[in-house]
Structures are given as C-alpha cells and as structure tokens.
Chains A and B, each alone.
Chain A
Amino acid sequence: MISLEPVAVPGAPLARRNPVAKLAAGLIFSFLLVASLDPVAPAIAIAVELALLPLFGIRYRVLARRALPLLAGAVGILVTLLLFAADRTGRVLWEAGPLLVTSGVLVTALGLVLRMLAVALPGVIVFATTDPTDLADALVQNAKAPARFAIGALAAFRLVPLLGQEWQMLTMARRARGVDAGRNPLARLRLFVSTAFALLVGAIRRGTRLAVAMDARGFDAGTPRTVARRQVFGPADWLLIVGAAALAGGALAVSVALGTFRPLIG
C-alpha cells in the first residue's frame, strides 16, 4: 500500500522548514544531479542525504520501509543492465556462460541505479516530513499558487483512501450479482474495465457532491481568502534551498575534479 502520511518526528530542525522551501530544495538537488551520468556524484549525494536524515527527524528504518519500492526498482535496473547492456567494454570481471560482466557494464549500471536513488530520495524525504495540509497552505501563501488548485487538490486527496474500499465493495457486489471472470483472461479484463468504470462514476459523483459542499461554504466565490494557518518563509528556509544547491554543486564538483564527470548532454 502506498502511504503518503508524514512519518517524521515533528520539530526536527529541517522537517520544520517551510514545505515550499523543502520542495524547492529537493527539486534543485535532484535537478542538478540529473546532469551527470557518472556514479561518483550520485554516490556523494546519497551519502549527504543519508547523513542529513536525522536533521529531518526520520529514522533509517522508517526510510528503508518507505523507500522499499524504490530499492526494488533499483535491483531490477541493476539486473536488467547486467544482463542486456550493449556496452561490454572494460575488464572482464565475471563470466558464466552467456553472462559477461565487465567493468564498463558495472559502472554504467551502478551509475544509473545510484542516480535514480539520489534523485528520488529527496522527494521521499520531503513527503515523509510534510503534512499535505501544510504543503497546500504553503503553496498558496508562499508560492502564490491559486487556492482553487491547491485546496481543491487537497480536498480530492482526502478522498483517495476511500477508492480502495470502494473497489473492494464493487468487486464483492459484482460477485453477489453472479458476475465473475473465472479463468478466462478476456472475461477478467472485461470485468476489470467495468469495475474501474463504476469506480470512476462513483468518484465523480462523490467529487461533485464535495464540490457543491465546498461551494456552499463560499469556496472560490471571489472574496479574497484569508488564512487560518500562517506559513512562514524565513531566512532559514532560504538557507535550506541555498544549502541544497551548494551540496549538489559540491557533489558535481568532486566528480569533475576526479575526472569521472560525464555530462548528460554533449
């Protein structure tokens, strides 16, 4: 199951930063790292991310659990590349029948996997330390996002967990009506599509009711909105963004100095 609830200890120095600042810092950090294909820069970045984790109030075990799908993906990429990469240059490290692992393959594969982890981890950290309500508030107040979009998305987001229950209900209701697919894959596909359609219809109806209820409470009526929960964007938040840029830049600089830097373009 995908969980997006924050898991951090509230009050950790970096978890407390403005959600928009965290989001911006994460984006800048990830974006800079995408620029290089080598394994050194992402390795440094991951080390930095893991070293900073306690400041975000996340325990390593919690992060590992949250990042499990990511790790599974990383293993998948590693295996795929080792088996199928076209580039078989470099020293032969291991040979077993048709399987030929060379240093070139290993460097490319590791580079890709590390890059994926280094780029994705900031996102995992940001959402693990950020309450969705705070994020919507900060997007409206600090990033000047339209409330119609931010609060609307937040309200819709609250209904997402209901979809899982609804799916189970629809499946059972269909079984009760004598509809099942048995072992026929085509019937199974048809049943899936019809259940998904019913889920969609239900979601739209519920969304419409929610929109009417929000309307009735004056949402998006043209009156300038005030805010109940003030989000502050202070010097410390700027510092977080600058720090993220500096650390990512530093990782790239080390990679250049070591001569391993391989730009994405050119």
Chain B
Amino acid sequence: MASVRLVGFGWRHAGRRAWAVRGVDLRIDHGERVLLLGPSGAGKSTLLAALAGLLPADSGEQEGTVEIDGLDPTKARERVGTVFQDPQSQLVMARCGDDVAFGLENRGVPGDEIWPRVDEALRRVGFPYHRDRPTAALSGGEQQRLALAGVLALRPGLLLLDEPTANLDPAGAELVRAAVAGALDPDTTLVLVEHRVADALALVDRVVVLTPGGGVRADGPPEAVFAAHGAALAAEGVWVPGHPTGSRPAVGPPGAGLLTADRLGLPPRLAPTDLTVRAGEALAVLGPNGVGKSTLALLLGGLLRPGVGRLTGTAALADGDTRTPPHRWRAPALAGRIGSVFQDPEHQFVTGTVRDELALGPRRTGRPESAVRATVDELLDRLRLTRLAGANPYTLSGGEARRLSVATALATAPRLLICDEPTFGQDRRTWGELVDLFADLRDAGHGVVTVTHDGDFVAALADRTVTLHPARDEP
C-alpha cells in the first residue's frame, strides 16, 4: 500500500535550460492504477524517476514537493519497485532465480525466507522456467517478466513501470502485459508510462495527462479523458485508441529490380531465402522472433558477407558494379546506393553534432561542399531537426534520434533504403512522419525495405510482404 502526493513539483536536469517537468499537482491513493500520458518530452520518465527516488539532489534542481506515504522518495525506496525499458541492462545475475533473489538480499531478507519468496514471485508473473535457467537464454519478453518478478519479490506498495514493452515485439509485449495483469493485487498502487494506450488500458483505471512544462492537463477515468482530449492527444503523438492512422498505398506499379537474393542465407541465423527488391515498391519483411529478419536486412544492406547463396545488385542500382556482390563494395559506393537504418539509432552516430552527422555521408561520397550544405539544410527541415542542428546526437530523445538516423541514410540519396524496425517505441506523430517519408521515397522511385513487427505500419505502407519461416530441420 502506498500513496503519492506531488505539489507544484518540477525538475530540471543539471546543465539544461528547460525544465523536464514542472508544475505538477497530483494525488494518487492506495491501490489506484494510473496510466501516465503525454507527448514526447512531457517529462513522464523524469516524474517516474522522481517517484522511484532515483533523482539525486546533486543531479539537478527541484521545485515543489514529492512524497510517497508522506516521505521523501529517497527515503521511501523500500516501498517502491521499478521496471525499466531495457531488459538487457536491468538483469544483474547470470541465473534467473539469483536475479530475483538479488533484491531480497539487498533488503536484508533472512536467508531461509528468500527462496520461497523467489518462487512465489516467479509464479506470480507466470515465469515458465526453472530458477537455474541462464538469464542470457531468455527472450526480451521473458527478461522483462523476470525483471518484474525481481521487483514484485520485494512486495512494493508502489509499482512503477516505465514503458516496459517499448523494446519488445508484439508477442513479448503481450507476455509482459499478461504478467502485470496477473500480478497486480488491490494493495499495489501502479503508475505506468506507455505509448501504446490501447494495450495498456486493461491495466489501469485512471489516466493522467502531462503537458510539456505545464503540469497536469487532464486527469480522470480513461473514457472521460479520451472523450475530452483524445483528438488533441492523438495530434500530439499519443497513441489514443479510436484514432486510426492514414494509409499510403503506392500510386503506380513497381519499377525495375534493384537487388536479387538467390538462396541468400547465413546459417544458423538465416535460412536460404529468395527475394527480389524493386524500385518504387515498399517491401515489408515479416516473421517470428529469431527467424533472421535483422540478419536479412544486414545482408541486403551489403553489411554482412553471405554464408550461402548470392546477392546481386542490378544495373539500375549498382551502375558498373553488378559483378561484385554488395558486401564487397567500398563503403562510399555502398552508401550512395543502399541506405541502412539500424534498430538502435545510437549505433549509427559517428560525429558530435546533428549537422555533421547529416553531412558525413555526402562528404564521403565526394559531393561538393555547397551541395552538402543544401542537402543537410533540406533534411534538417524535412525531419524537424533544424532546432537541434548543433546538438549532440546522443542527447536526442527517442523520436528525434530515429528521425536523425533515417535522415543520415537519406543524405547520400541512395536508390534503396533498408530499415530494421524503424517504428519501434515511436510515438504516433513520428510514426506518421515515417510512413509519409517512406511513401514519398517510394513514389519518387526508390526501393524501401522494412523489417518489422508493426502490423499497422505494414498496413499503412507496404505494397508487398515477405514472411520468413524457421528452417524446417530446426525446432
């Protein structure tokens, strides 16, 4: 049991001019289940960190008060449990049971009580394996279940979930939601941050909407909040249920072939696959987790050497290089023909500012400086990054980083764009922009290949889908 009280609360991270969150007045009572909403940059994660007592006084400046059961959150940490976004960086131990026991050891729970509580927590989240199972052998969804068990074992009065499914495919996200739904009891207060509102609604009975820098905009039962503010929230990027997204089918037939994959594979990561990629066509690659979709994207992008089979670029894509497989092309030539967008945008950043990041590709491919500047300015404008031209790419928000990573791939004007899960964890606004951008590219005669789990994205954009299947001789 725990209650939360915020009065005029605000927080500004050290070294920042803008307040991450400001003017929040909020009361959450014992056992309430709250969905915290707001457009990107509204300070949802900062607010959650404040409740978790994870904002040390020397890391920024606080305004107003925040209390858990009348205590300062740094003194109420034992009452609060938090599950974060990234499964990789919240598991501590090598074996599942040990990981759940880790928190119990830290709290000084007597040794003979630890294992019964570990087993109980694993049961509550429906964890299917023995506690000796290596944590490294779990899928992302299973890892998040385990992280939830590790938090529940501590019997927190207040459970904080910070986009626990944002890094997961739909099946993994469903695993986590089912675990949360099954584990909640009337004594646990819940505060959840989640983009995908429709999926989260079953878990909550109250919605609180934050405005960037402006405190609480709306607060109440989900139906009432969405009736009054749904359209505005959707326009700001929140995935409000009942606000469908537009679709962008192709305006013309597909053009010439660009790439031909002939029994292309990389055992055991990807079974041999036949595929043709065409200009003026958006192709979506689907398939269950672990079937090798990301590997296929890397192979098509000329970034990995094929294990078996062959990948050939046609004359339309490769100019005179049709006899050389793409993975042997020099990098500047490759970047001018095929643009690759990785799942994690941060992998792709090479320079210290957004502007340099965009200029890098065109410079490497030998464009004159005036053309480079024109390209950079156009992309900054088109992807709403002009304001951030001088910022360090690593300091961008998730949506901004995604837009930049796509823009860097477009900067060299490649004929073919290959994206791995471009819409993962994106808000509705960035999502819509990506659909429009890819559709514009396709209609201008570029080829677009996306590897994705996002059914809405496929419906909105794809002209053709290819579904990968696990190799038959494997389970």
Q: Does A210 contact B (CB under 8 A)?
A: yes
Per the 8 Å Cβ criterion, residues 306-343 of B in contact with A are: 330-332, 334-336, 338-340, 342
Cβ-defined contact, B52 with A216, below 8 A: yes
Cβ-defined contact, A176 with B409, below 8 A: yes
Among A133, A178, A202, A227, point to the contact of B364 (Cβ < 8 A): A178
Q: Does A228 contact B (CB under 8 A)?
A: yes
| A14–chain B nearest beta-carbon distance, Å | 23
Q: Does A75 contact B (CB under 8 A)?
A: no
**Complex Cα–Cα for A129 and B444 (A):** 62
Cβ-defined contact, B111 with A226, below 8 A: yes
Q: Does A91 contact B (CB under 8 A)?
A: no
| B469–chain A nearest beta-carbon distance, Å | 25
Per the 8 Å Cβ criterion, residues 102-154 of B in contact with A are: 102-111, 114-115, 118, 135-136, 147, 150-151, 154
Q: Does B350 contact A (CB under 8 A)?
A: yes
* A209 touching B90 in the complex, CB below 8 Å, given contacts A176-B301, A215-B54: yes
Q: Does A144 contact B (CB under 8 A)?
A: no
Cβ-defined contact, A176 with B348, below 8 A: yes
Query: Nearest CB to that of A158 among chain B residues?
Result: B94
Q: Does A59 contact B (CB under 8 A)?
A: no
Residues 68-96 of chain B, each 1 if its beta carbon lies under 8 Å from chain A, else 0: 00000000011011101010111111110
Which residues on the B side are within 8 Å of A151 (C-beta)?
92, 102
Cβ-defined contact, B98 with A133, below 8 A: yes
Residues 201-222 of chain A, each 1 if its beta carbon lies under 8 Å from chain B, else 0: 1100111011011111111110
* A158 touching B350 in the complex, CB below 8 Å, given contacts A175-B331, A228-B115: no
Q: Does B347 contact A (CB under 8 A)?
A: yes
Which residues on the A side are within 8 Å of B102 (C-beta)?
151, 214, 217, 219
Tally of chain B residues near chain A (CB < 8 A)? 67
Among A162, A176, A198, A214, point to the contact of B339 (Cβ < 8 A): A176
Cβ-defined contact, B303 with A225, below 8 A: no
Which residues on the B side are within 8 Å of A225 (C-beta)?
105-106, 108
Q: Does B412 contact A (CB under 8 A)?
A: yes
Among B93, B105, B412, point to the contact of A133 (Cβ < 8 A): B93
| A180–chain B nearest beta-carbon distance, Å | 3
Cβ-defined contact, B114 with A226, below 8 A: yes
Q: Does B256 contact A (CB under 8 A)?
A: no
Cβ-defined contact, A218 with B154, below 8 A: yes
Cβ-defined contact, A176 with B340, below 8 A: yes
Which residues on the B side are within 8 Å of A3 (C-beta)?
none
**Complex Cα–Cα for A72 and B394 (A):** 42
Tally of chain A residues near chain B (CB < 8 A)? 50
Residues 234-253 of chain A, each 1 if its beta carbon lies under 8 Å from chain B, else 0: 00000000000000000000
| A15–chain B nearest beta-carbon distance, Å | 17
Q: Does B4 contact A (CB under 8 A)?
A: no
Residues 47-61 of chain B, each 1 if its beta carbon lies under 8 Å from chain A, else 0: 000001010000000
Cβ-defined contact, A228 with B114, below 8 A: yes
Cβ-defined contact, A202 with B92, below 8 A: no
Among A175, A223, A229, point to the contact of B108 (Cβ < 8 A): A223
Cβ-defined contact, A228 with B111, below 8 A: yes
Cβ-defined contact, A213 with B84, below 8 A: yes
Among A166, A172, A215, A230, point to the contact of B304 (Cβ < 8 A): A172
| A58–chain B nearest beta-carbon distance, Å | 21
Cβ-defined contact, B304 with A226, below 8 A: no
The residue among A158, A182, A217, A225 with the most chain B CB atoms within 10 A of its own CB is: A217
| A6–chain B nearest beta-carbon distance, Å | 11
Cβ-defined contact, A206 with B89, below 8 A: yes
| A188–chain B nearest beta-carbon distance, Å | 12
* A178 touching B412 in the complex, CB below 8 Å, given contacts A173-B342, A209-B90, A228-B98: yes
| B353–chain A nearest beta-carbon distance, Å | 15
* A221 touching B347 in the complex, CB below 8 Å, given contacts A177-B364, A178-B364, A214-B92: no
Given A158-B136, A177-B361, A228-B114, 4 extra CB contacts under 8 A: A178-B331, A178-B364, A226-B108, A230-B111
Query: When A and B form their complex, which 5 residue pairs have the shortest distance between CB atoms, in order from nearest?
Result: A178-B335, A180-B331, A178-B364, A213-B90, A218-B106
